[in-house]
Amino acid sequence: MKVDVNLCMHCGACVGLCPQNAIFLDDTRIEFNDDCVSCGRCRTACPVGAIGWDDE
């Protein structure tokens, strides 16, 4: 997964929905660790469409 840093509001909507607990968010960035299985739940949860697939 990838994040458009210009769109991300750091709201945390994606973090709670991750079944792998693979998303880490702080005041300046969002990161996905190696546990991410690209299920897309975070993408669906993002209110501003900041999360996309790596190959987009």
* CA atoms of 35 and 5, how far apart (whole Å): 21
pLDDT for the residue numbered 18: 94
27: domain CATH number is 3.30.70.20
Q: Could you list the residue range(s) of the whole structural domain that residue 46 is in?
A: 2-52
Give the model confidence (pLDDT) of 2-47 as tens digits. Answer: 999 899 999 999 999 999 999 998 877 889 999 999 999 999 999 9
Q: How confident is the model at residue 56 (pLDDT cuts 50, 70, 90)?
A: low
pTM: predicted TM-score of the whole model, two decimal places: 0.83
pLDDT for the residue numbered 55: 76
* CA atoms of 36 and 20, how far apart (whole Å): 6
Report how many domains make up the chain. 1
pLDDT for the residue numbered 21: 95
* CA atoms of 22 and 42, how far apart (whole Å): 10
Q: In the predicted model, what is the mean pLDDT of residues 41-55? A: 92
* CA atoms of 17 and 56, how far apart (whole Å): 22
* Residues 23, 39, 25: CA angle, nearest 5 degrees: 10
